[in-house]
Amino acid sequence: QVRLVESGGGLVQAGGSLRLSCAASGRTFSGYTIGWFRQTPGKEREFVAAIRWIGGSTYYSDSVKGRFIISRDTAKNTVFLQMNSLRPEDTAVYYCAARIGIIVTRGNDYDSWGQGTQVTVSS
């Protein structure tokens, strides 16, 4: 059973940076895609970025492209989301999720989810 645990959230001023981590366990992840999503109250869950475990191909939403970087450390079974030039509109609970297969942006296509970590960006 896949287990995902996010960490690294917090409060930061606009223009600042945070690095989120997603520690994955429960199986080997070759063939998997790990994605980051975010959600604010009253809004739909939004795709942020995703990475293929093998090969490291990445994909970003337009709203974070050029500011966020997704990466993974396969030896540590951890995926990172480096968030730079943060804006108040980046405030959300950030979740990592896993699926077997190619990168997709729809949350319902991911099978396993972490509990989330809060990111708050003050203006």
What rounded mean pLDDT belongs to the chain? 97
CA atoms within 13 A on the CB side of 75: 0
What pLDDT, in 10s, does the model give residues 32-90?
Answer: 999 999 999 999 999 999 999 999 999 999 999 999 999 999 999 999 999 999 999 99
DSSP structure string for 6-53: EE--EEEETT--EEEEEEEESS--TTEEEEEEEE-TTS--EEEEEEET
Which H or E run contains 83? strand 78-83
Instruction: Please determine, for residue 27, whether its predicted confidence score (pLDDT) is greater than 90.
Output: no
pLDDT grade for 18, boundaries at 50, 70 and 90: very high
For residue 28, what pLDDT is reported?
86
57's tokens: 């191909």
The share of the chain scoring above pLDDT 70, in percent, equals 100
